[in-house]
Amino acid sequence: MQRRTFLKSLGALSVLTYMPRSWGQEQNADQQGRLILVQLGGGNDSLNTFVPFTDASYYQARPNLAIAKEQVLAITNSLGLHPAMAPLMQHWQSGEMALVEGLGYANPNRSHFRGYDIWHTASDAEEILSEGWLAQVMDLLPMSLDALVLSGSPGAFAGGADLFNLAGQTDIASFSPAFMPSGSSDISSLQFILDSRAQYNASLESLESVLAQAPEPTVTFPNTAFGQQCELISRLITGGLDAPLWHLSLGSFDTHANQADEHAALLTELAEGLAALCAALKADEQWSDTTIASYSEFGRRVGENASLGTDHGTAASHFVLGGNVQGGLFGQRPSLTELDAGDLIFTTDFRHYYKSLLQKAGLPISAQLQEYVSLGF
Amino acid sequence: MASPNFYEARHLAFRTHLHVSDSLLDMLQQSSSLDSAVAGLLAAPVDQIELPDWHLQAPRRPGPEAIDAMRRELILWWFKQLANCENQLNEMMVLFWHNHFVSALSKVKWPPFMLRQNVMFRSHALGNFRTLLAEVLADPAMLIYLDNATSQSESPNENLARELMELFTLGEGNYSEQDVKEMARTLTGASVSRLTGDYVFRRRWHDAGTKSLLGQTGTFGPQDVPELILAQKACAEFIVAKLWHYFSGVQADTALTEELAATFRQADYELKPLVRAILLHPDFYNYAGNQVKSPVELGIGLLRFLPANDALNAAVARATRDMGQQLFNPPNVKGWPGGRAWYAAGFIPAREQLCLRAYRFMHSLSSPPDWQAELLAVSPVGKSEIEASSNPLLLALQDPAMQVK
């Protein structure tokens, strides 16, 4: 093994001082908002989340799992929310919730992991890209901290700098700075450790000072992992952290068996957490700058299986929430009878959705998404 | 043929052991050759283990407290093996299979199922892959985790069928969507007895019809699946590439994959010849220090320097959870992503804290026992720096190199 050069200056053990980076004070908050992505890990069953309650073929395909017409929360005369989504109903009614139907891509892949690669890199089905779709956006942002990942896969940010990945941990108050020797290493894994510690230390100081300034939330957040992550986002935003990109995750939505109770519980956790986050951001007048959007690696099979669950499918609908969002239905509802091997045929390329989200959040559009069109929400 | 030098011995030790001691390095360097050092590691007997008395208990519905107690005991049981096992290479392979043939207690619910799966991994960790695969397809934890236990001929459940080919044996792109459906039909009926908790084949749930699967046609059932899978060229390639990555920390290129796959097939899917080929491959020795230690590797590596006791095991178990690796609960069917993801910002404080706590614990003991000398001897920091430092132990534990292997 080669000598590591940084060791030569490693006699003393003092934690070295570091330069906290400025937090983009030159930014104009009126122009740039923030995008909070919500990963529904495992493949959310959007047919049971946004229920086509007048479509007889929906009830035929799901004799056991279909949500009864009397139970859905109707948002149009043919579509209703799963009852567990009730906490978000007020946002539909106030025109702050958009639903984009039929999102997907050609030649859909039904693997969780290949599916996520495609969604995270905004590639075609057969195309292998290494950079996340937000990495190019991060390159165009002048911030010192572009993205905060509370939980879930950081794949959408892969290759982008200035990311802080909390990896599900929310107790920032218990974090302390990492020991930082001076110097550098010509072994890439050691340089990676050094870089990670430096970035961690710099960001931690800023996060702690933001949290110290954050007002006490006026809203009670649910005592679930997802709820606590929503609360941390709220505290960081109301404390003044101006990172434009945020990510959190819930799941597993991979409901192959006994789906009904599990799916309802997940949607409850999702809707209650997000409703609290929306309320907190509204109270702090951050709501008009905020766009919250869901995504998932695929939807689920139209027909249920014999284990009272649903297998991997293709296209799905996703929701967008925000003070500046044009509420209503966007995209186009896929047919439940003209199927591809039992799966929905997508109507709306997910990259139109991505471009629309960036536009709505006032973020720069990467070259990769230039050719796509805004869906208008 | 020459005895392994210090750097070869150290690399081999760190990649085949959870804990590297001075005496291990001496032993490896005293081997007549690398070949004999590796042969010695592979010849070590599998440790005898003691099991909690509930390990064969059939599933029932005890109160949540009873299940919680079993769950805690289950995790501590594995940490006890990790902290005490003699055959560390076998233990490293158990960790590998746990993260390959993934099942999670959060879904399986019944701790004895996870325990029995772990015991099964132990017996075949360095055995024959064909046998291991057959055992996995009859493993209650797996059949529950991937929902095959409830799969029936009328609209079969595709979960196990898909992940078996995508993540366990062939890799994405080496099977068709039609194969997933046909594999699901083939696996119908492979289930778990509610009464005994053992594997059961439910004939009435099985689709006995003709299947067209992976290029072959027949009235296949679950027992035919290992051979159907192994007949695919992709299977050996997929497994050798994953094991190469596990030990070396880098992706295998096509030539190396084919070379190792040929070895694997020639050995009729025995794992020891494959692992031997990996550990003796000249390229393997180019990658010293390139892997971030997993939480278990970091935690057990330190724990085994300390006098063993249950409280310390439990503390390290909690620490590994805070560092993102809760044993028996991988995050999804692909397992922990590992590699540099172990050093995400949110995990750095728990990793740092573990090293500091290990330091304080060692420091609190009145006289410096042998482990202090031993830790320093295998420390990533060179001897000259150690001698120059006012606090060598802290230096060793906080060095960035402590985080990698």
CATH number of the domain residue A158 falls in: 3.40.720.10
Q: CA nearest A3 in B: which residue? A: B382
> Which pLDDT does position A323 carry in this prediction?
96
Residue A374 forms part of a structural domain: no
**Collapsing DSSP states into helix, strand and coil, what is residue B404?**
strand
Q: Once rounded to an integer, what is the mean pLDDT over residues A169-173? A: 95
Residue A235 forms part of a structural domain: yes
Cβ atoms of A314 and A104 closer than 8 Å: yes
> b/e for B196-235, b at 16 or more Cβ within 10 A?
ebebbebeebbbeeebebbeeeeebbbeebbebbbebebb
Give the closest-approach CA distance of B28 to chain A in angstroms: 17
Give the closest-approach CA distance of A291 to chain B in angstroms: 25
- Give A-chain residues touching B151 at CB under 8 angstroms: 305-307
Whether residues A112 and B334 touch (CB distance < 8 A) is answered with yes
DSSP summary character for residue B305:
T
DSSP summary character for residue A351:
H
> Which pLDDT does position B308 carry in this prediction?
82
Residue A7 has pLDDT above 70, yes or no: no
| Count of H-run helices and E-run strands, chain A | 9, 12
Residue A27 has pLDDT above 90, yes or no: no
> To 10 degrees, the CA torsion angle through B146, B152, B153, B158?
-20
Of the residues A193, A195, A207, the best mutation for testing chain B's interface (the one with the most B CB atoms within 10 Å of its CB) is A193
- CA–chain centroid gap for A182, Å, is 36
Run of H or E residues at A51 = strand A50-51
Whether residues B404 and A113 touch (CB distance < 8 A) is answered with no
Whether residues B291 and A189 touch (CB distance < 8 A) is answered with yes
Whether residues B352 and A178 touch (CB distance < 8 A) is answered with yes
Give the closest-approach CA distance of A11 to chain B in angstroms: 6
B218 has which bridge partners? B211
Q: CA nearest B175 in A: which residue? A: A111
The number of CA neighbours under 13 Å toward the Cβ of A242 is 17
**Residue B193 and residue B191: Cα distance in Å, rounded?**
7
Residues 269-328 on A with a CB inside 8 Å of B are 303-309, 311-312
Residue A2 has pLDDT above 70, yes or no: no
For strand B216-218 and strand B211-213, is the pairing parallel, antiparallel, or unpaired? Answer: antiparallel
Of A180-189, A354-363, B349-358, the poorest mean pLDDT is in A180-189
| Count of H-run helices and E-run strands, chain B | 21, 4
Residue A350 forms part of a structural domain: yes
Please indicate whether residue A3 or residue A257 has the higher confidence score (pLDDT). A257
Could you tell me the two tokens for B238? Answer: 């997929």
Residue A342 forms part of a structural domain: yes
The number of CA neighbours under 13 Å toward the Cβ of A67 is 25
Task: List chain B domain ranges.
Answer: 6-14+21-41, 233-286, 295-403
Q: Write the residue in B166, B340, B401 that is nearest to A190 by C-beta.
A: B401
DSSP B220-266: --GGGHHHHHHTSHHHHHHHHHHHHHHHHSS---HHHHHHHHHHHHH
Could you tell me the two tokens for B78? Answer: 């594995």
Residue A125 has pLDDT above 50, yes or no: yes
- Give B-chain residues touching A304 at CB under 8 angstroms: 155
Residue A23 has pLDDT above 90, yes or no: no
Query: Per-residue confidence at A22, pLDDT binned at 50, 70, 90?
Result: very low
**pLDDT tens digit at each of 405 positions of chain B:** 799 999 999 999 999 999 999 999 999 999 999 999 999 999 999 999 999 999 999 998 778 888 999 999 999 999 999 999 999 999 999 999 999 999 999 999 999 999 999 999 999 999 999 999 999 999 999 999 999 999 999 999 999 999 999 999 999 999 999 999 999 999 999 999 999 999 999 999 999 999 999 999 999 999 999 999 999 999 999 999 999 999 999 999 999 999 999 999 999 999 999 999 999 999 999 999 999 999 999 999 999 998 889 999 999 999 999 999 999 999 999 999 999 999 999 999 999 999 999 999 888 887 766 777 788 877 776 667 777 888 888 888 998 999 999
The number of CA neighbours under 13 Å toward the Cβ of A278 is 24
ipTM of the complex in this document: 0.94
Could you tell me the two tokens for B249? Answer: 């920390």
Q: How many independent structural domains does chain A possess?
A: 1
The number of CA neighbours under 13 Å toward the Cβ of B91 is 23
Q: CA nearest A158 in B: which residue? A: B341
Residues 212-241 on A with a CB inside 8 Å of B are none
Of the residues B14, B109, B157, the best mutation for testing chain A's interface (the one with the most A CB atoms within 10 Å of its CB) is B157
> Which pLDDT does position B368 carry in this prediction?
66
Share of chain A above pLDDT 90, in %: 87
Q: Write the residue in A6, A192, A256 that is nearest to B340 by C-beta.
A: A192
**Residue B293 and residue B300: Cα distance in Å, rounded?**
11
Whether residues B399 and A176 touch (CB distance < 8 A) is answered with no
- Give B-chain residues touching A306 at CB under 8 angstroms: 150-157
What are the φ and ψ backbone dihedral angles of A45, each rounded to 5 degrees? -80, 90
> Which pLDDT does position A38 carry in this prediction?
98
Q: Decide if A200 touches B, using CB distance below 8 A.
A: yes
Amino acid letter at B138? A
Question: What domain range is A244 assigned to?
Answer: 37-175+221-369
Residue A215 forms part of a structural domain: no
Integer-rounded Cα radius of gyration of chain A: 22
> Which pLDDT does position B373 carry in this prediction?
79
Query: Per-residue confidence at A16, pLDDT binned at 50, 70, 90?
Result: very low
